[in-house]
Amino acid sequence: MNASELKDLQAPIKEKYKADPSAAMITLKAEGNIGEGISCKVDTGKAMVEAGLHPATGGNGMLACSGDMLLEALVACAGVTLSAVATAIGVDIRSGLVRAEGDLDFRGTLGVSKEASVGFRQIRLSFQLDTDANDEQMASLEKLTERYCVVYQTIAGGTRIDKSFSKI
């Protein structure tokens, strides 16, 4: 896809959202079923993923770790956003690697230490790109990818979560 094709594809969608801002408000959903043992089966829309305990908390390593899944979602979103931005501004990326690494202190989630935080202390997101982009274009890729990546902005912004618990 080139910049013109991307703009043609998105133009009617953008016009619709300008004319009717409420049409742009869409609720994405994820659902999981509590499984056997300590697991939760999540339908990703493309496959069923069963998440469980990370080996550092007693898991056997056979089930997906939700922390890994969060980093994978960040990598996927950042990679797609980067590709769209590059296409839109006419930067050719021949290939690239997007990597996310996050530091966790498992004492927090296991309740071993109240001083240890629960959750990632730091996440590092890196891009290695095979491209002829100049320094100005690279700066634009970085700025626009950060600005338009939904998962990045959600994590960085600390989005409020409303929760409820009920019995069925």
pLDDT per residue over 135-166, tens digit each? 999 999 999 999 999 999 999 998 999 999 99
Read off the pLDDT of each residue in 23-28 and give the average, rounded to a whole number: 77
- Give the β-pairing of 39-43 and 93-104: unpaired
Q: Assess whether pLDDT exceeds 70 at residue 32.
A: no
Q: In whole angstroms, give the CA distance from residue 104 to residue 67.
A: 9
Q: What domains can be seen in the chain, in order of their start residue? A: 66-157 (3.30.300.20)
Q: Assess whether pLDDT exceeds 80 at residue 63.
A: yes
Q: Which two tokens stand for residue 127?
A: 């891009």
- Give the β-pairing of 48-52 and 93-104: unpaired
| Straight-line distance from the first to the last Cα atom of the chain, in angstroms, rounded to the nearest whole number | 48
Q: Assess whether pLDDT exceeds 80 at residue 3.
A: yes
Q: In whole angstroms, give the CA distance from residue 167 to residue 130.
A: 52
Sign of the C-alpha dihedral computed for residues 53, 57, 59 and 60 taken in this order: positive
Read off the pLDDT of each residue in 12-28 and give the average, rounded to a whole number: 84
Q: In whole angstroms, give the CA distance from residue 75 to residue 81.
A: 10
Q: Assess whether pLDDT exceeds 70 at residue 56.
A: yes
85-129 tens-digit pLDDT: 999 999 999 999 999 999 998 889 888 888 988 989 899 999 999
